[in-house]
Structure 1
């Protein structure tokens, strides 16, 4: 075995990628053996209730883990009929990718979960996405894909659901006011939009150092600030260079025809009738894509993206544009693709929304981003993909 201290960083990372691939290939082999045990009815043969109970003793898995492996094994194995015919696995594309070591057991479970709401032909794109992203991103992609595929289907004729009821509970305990609330989609989005800019970490200073507060503490302090600000209603906070604004995105024809749904920054859907009602209120800014009245390009006059530019970036990127990231626009910075310091201008065509984590990653790692036909496209470092194949955020643009 070679001394890892003598390997370069790229060699170490490549070795980890190759090693995990080998582990996943072995996992697939184990699942094939589990499926064969299940077919043989080994549990009854050995006097156990079911196969998960056998595996609990055989490999010391807890019951939940054992059940997961048995379930996933059944999805990836070929079935043999009583007449001897061999049937393809329930998820053939998943089975092929798992056999190559491209998917983990967790990936298999998430793909199986999202495929319950999708037609069989969607398995190919879902697995293609899973080959490049973690399971949580696959779940978000599947949810978005299901919405896009079925958004034009007729609504089921179920009974009208009861309208959402906002709830708020206050209780004093040991000198503190404990608050619990349950808010409908629109109210919740407004509340989130008000609180978020106040909950950002404080800048690091020589006197105070970095902000060590947890997220819960920062949001608690933000709520206290919001109470004070509401007592001074003319001094409400700004976010992204403009007063706190609720942004909804939808096609103008749908809004005019009162059909379809709009999407909030947090990716929640709002029916057209509620959008039309909201559009009557101050603070809702309608956007027509490509409108000449929007200041979409200010050249080199300003490094900071204007409020109009940010609204255009939100309408295009719908959140962090990095592949697999589901962060909403309110958690994102506008990044210069061609760095401002290197001569890049401040424009929508040279901007992309990135959350703080991925903004830092683009600045300090081997990841790069370019614009291709008006859409941000990302290229991974060579240790991750020697061919550096282009990637996009398909969660925000599932088709």
Structure 2
């Protein structure tokens, strides 16, 4: 009867053989993705990126898909690593971290190291690689972030030194004005004030920085309203020449058919008909998707309806456009991301309803299915050696010589 150690040895041998075959299969997947990437074939599928295409068609995680895409993009730069992967001696995770982080010209260096190192040790080695001297840091990019909890809403604003000084000056000015108004309203020299008998619970508190900020926002709002009393950010005004069938934005450029339809989706649009440059009437307006209807759409399709796209933010409601007779009803609406919405209006993809049996096709009319390409194999597994794996030894980094990127020559 076999001992536990003997049984474990048999299982480890089979595991090493399977892992070697898996590595070789991953290498073939990388070669296929490289052909798609370098042949610029992924764009016709409607996918956002090569990694998104891989995640969609292999039903893998985006992290794994990014590793495949990174190796595929640099497969010509990393011939030794790629060849060892084809032979089953390196895993996708090992070559993926090299492709994502290694400097150009480091293929031979990391191919030797990867044969004995774990993924964690490769990450450490790549972190020791000297980096080029950073360029002077640009001014901090302006940003505003928002978060909420049960106590309220919190705004975080990032500004450069000059912008910060301007905001400080504006806030101080508004705070001084609010304090001056507060003093005039509540310190008018009455007898109660002089004797200290004023009820402090009735008197509002002294204005603070938050009050100054709201005063600044309201002042800017008032100025904008005064400057554009008839402006509505939710309304698109389009002028259409009924004879030439040309559309243009109000006081703006001429629109293509695709741009006109894209701009008037899920928005309120005033259409003015003209002849010989003179207005002759106004057509019906589009109807914006209400908040209540949008909530139902978000519940039904939490992500973009195009297969393989996981976008969840900034989605537009669309199937049949309003000018083609589409109605603003649940059966005629699904949510799509701006990227795929533009592709639809440009003819790169087609979205047909109703919503409960949606069909999305590419520019050649081929359906884009939601499932992966996985199917039962009809060929034998790759004939490669068993995966040797890393040595498992503890790394002593004092002896390790990091890869030195070559300094680019300045000769012309």
Normalised TM-score (structure 1): 0.32
Say which one has the larger Rg: 2
Report 1 or 2 for greater relative contact order, CA contacts < 8 Å, sequence distance ≥ 6. Answer: 2
- What is the TM-score of this pair, normalised by structure 2? 0.31
